[in-house]
Structure formats: C-alpha cells, structure tokens
C-alpha cells in the first residue's frame, strides 16, 4: 500500500509540473502560478515520505500489508534532501564569511561591503540579514545618481528577504531537479524576483535611470550563486529584456500576499491524513 502512495505522489507531482505554460498575465498571477507549480509537487513528495516514516514498516493499511522497501525508500529520500540542504547552507555560509572579510564603506547613509574587483557587481549576500556588496569597479563606473538606483534595487531584495526565501527555493530546486519544468519554473521565479525589486526601486528613483544602470551592470558576469545571492546583474538576455520593458512601461505595483493564495498548498498535506488508517 505504501508503494502505491509513492507511485501516486510521483505521478501527481509530474502531472502538476507538466501544466506549466509560457508566462502570461500580471506579476501577481505569474508569481502565484509559478510558485504553486514549483513548490506543490516537491511538497507533496516530502509529505508522502514523512507520512511513510510516521507509519513505519510494520502493520496494515486498508487491509494491505506494508513493508520495509517503501520505508527505506522514504527514509533515504529524506536523508538525501537533508544532505543537500546542509551542503547548500555550508556553501552559503562560506560566501557570507568571505563577504565579511571585505571592508565596510558608507554610501549615502547605507553601509556596504566593498569587493576588490574591477567587475561591475552589486548584490545582497547572506540569508535573513544579508549585506549589501558593491564592487570597486561599480563605484568607479557609475555616477552618484546611477549608484542610488542600484542601492534602491538592492534594498528591494532586502525588503522582501529574497536571499533567505530563494535559498530554500534553491534547495527545493536541487532536491527535485528531475521533475519536469524545474529549470523553466526556477528561471520564471528569478525574473519575477528581479521585477519585484525593480518595482520597489522604481517607486523611489527614476525608472529610466535604473534601466540605464541595469544595462551597464548586467554586462558583468555574476560573482556568486543565485541561491544565496540576489544581484542586480544576475540576468540572462531574456530576463534583461523583460526587466527593461517593465521599467520603461512603469512597473506595476506589487500586491501584498493574500492568505487564500496559499490554500492550494494544503492539498499537499493530504498524505499525512493516511497515517490514521495505518494499523
């Protein structure tokens, strides 16, 4: 019976991911769709594995015997997911430690770490309390007005805690890279993250000046991983085009997250209900 649960969870997860289509609609619609299709299948698999661990290898379920195979499979999966989380957290911590070795500078009342490189880089590096990191090349290339727009964009990432939340989304991506459309949904979430930070910045600075700064910075390759780094220039050509178009068209306001938008995720917890039928 447990094996049937595993097969059903994998089938539903793959079928759900296959519903992904090219992004359409407003920022809010795109965000809710992408986040649900990205998170629901892994969450369903996680909850199924946890339910099997809770029921154990002994006993019956709906009159059918359970066994060790499904139990060991679930336990191995959760152990693998845990190891991946530790590995990513260690990489992120190493990046944070490296960042803290950079000198602190004060720019327009904002503290930032100064990266000794000629590359044009601006980003938030860290987890819940990330630090603003700017490169020496960026300070030498951008004007004071352009630098203000860059800092405003990075403040958007800080406001939404993007480095923290995208660390966990990056972990989910690593755990379920084999699911259909994982990379497409990941790229969609990344561009929506940048559009949100751009919109936050555009409410404080000139959007056209921000677009100009973006074009300058994006030519430089990213310095750090996007899992624990939210950087202004971490965009591909397609993402850059979307961001420039959004800025030129005046970014739409970002709505507050509504509680009902999370209701669909409750279905992923249904496997836990099966525990009461195990004897």
Instruction: Tell me the pLDDT of the chain averaged across its residues.
Output: 82
Q: CB–CB of 151/110 below 8 Å?
A: yes
Interval 218-231 mean pLDDT = 63
Q: How far apart are CA 93 and CA 153, in angstroms?
A: 23
Backbone angles phi, psi at 41, to 5 degrees: -60, -50
Tens-place pLDDT, residues 113-147? 888 888 888 888 888 888 899 888 888 888 888 89
Tens-place pLDDT, residues 54-63? 877 665 555 5
Cα 270 to Cα 5, 49, 66, 152: the distances in Å are 11, 12, 19, 42
- Rounded to two decimals, what is the model's pTM? 0.85
**How many residues are given for the chain?**
279
Token couple for 30: 């795109």
Q: How far apart are CA 219 and CA 168, in angstroms?
A: 28
Is 180's pLDDT higher than 90? yes
Backbone angles phi, psi at 205, to 5 degrees: -130, 175
Q: 84 pLDDT band (50/70/90 cuts)?
A: very high
Token couple for 100: 């803290």
Q: How far apart are CA 69 and CA 63, in angstroms?
A: 18
- Count of CA atoms in the C-beta half-sphere (13 A) of 151: 16
Q: 65 pLDDT band (50/70/90 cuts)?
A: low
Q: 44 pLDDT band (50/70/90 cuts)?
A: very high
Is 43's pLDDT higher than 90? yes
Least confident of 4-13, 61-70, 133-142, 236-245: 61-70
What pLDDT, on a 0 to 100 scale, did the predictor assign at position 167? Answer: 92
Q: CB–CB of 272/51 below 8 Å?
A: yes
What pLDDT, on a 0 to 100 scale, did the predictor assign at position 226? Answer: 61
Q: CB–CB of 51/275 below 8 Å?
A: yes
Q: How far apart are CA 1 and CA 170, in angstroms?
A: 32
Who has greater pLDDT, 263 or 145?
A: 145
Who has greater pLDDT, 126 or 258?
A: 126
- Count of CA atoms in the C-beta half-sphere (13 A) of 206: 8
Q: How far apart are CA 278 and CA 125, in angstroms?
A: 46
The closest alpha carbon to 94, from 137, 134, 125, belongs to: 125
206 CB-contact burial (10 Å; exposed 0-12 / middle 13-18 / buried 19+): middle
């Amino acid at each position: 019976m447990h094996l049937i649960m595993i097969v059903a969870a994998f089938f539903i997860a793959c079928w759900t991911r296959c519903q992904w289509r090219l992004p359409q609609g407003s920022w809010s619609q795109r965000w809710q769709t992408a986040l649900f299709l990205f998170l629901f299948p892994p969450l369903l698999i996680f909850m199924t594995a946890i339910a099997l661990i809770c029921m154990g290898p002994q006993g019956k379920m709906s009159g059918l015997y359970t066994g060790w195979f499904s139990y060991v499979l679930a336990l191995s999966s959760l152990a693998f997911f845990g190891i991946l989380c530790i590995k990513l957290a260690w990489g992120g911590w190493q990046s944070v430690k490296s960042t803290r070795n950079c000198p602190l500078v004060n720019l327009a009342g904002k503290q930032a770490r100064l990266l000794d490189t000629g590359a044009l880089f601006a980003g938030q590096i860290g987890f819940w309390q990330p630090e603003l990191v700017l490169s020496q090349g960026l300070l030498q290339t951008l004007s004071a007005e352009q630098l203000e727009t860059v800092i405003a964009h990075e403040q958007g990432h800080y406001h939404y805690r993007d480095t923290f939340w995208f660390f966990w989304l990056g972990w989910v991506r690593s755990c379920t890279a084999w699911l259909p459309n994982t990379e497409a949904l990941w790229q969609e979430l990344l561009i929506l993250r940048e559009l949100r930070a751009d919109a936050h910045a555009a409410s404080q600075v000139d959007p056209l000046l921000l677009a100009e700064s973006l074009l300058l910075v994006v030519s430089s390759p990213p310095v750090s991983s996007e899992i624990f780094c939210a950087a202004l220039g971490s965009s591909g050509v397609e993402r850059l085009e979307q961001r420039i178009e959004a800025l030129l068209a005046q970014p739409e306001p970002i709505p507050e997250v509504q509680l009902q938008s999370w209701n669909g995720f409750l279905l992923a917890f249904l496997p836990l209900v099966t525990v009461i039928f195990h004897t």
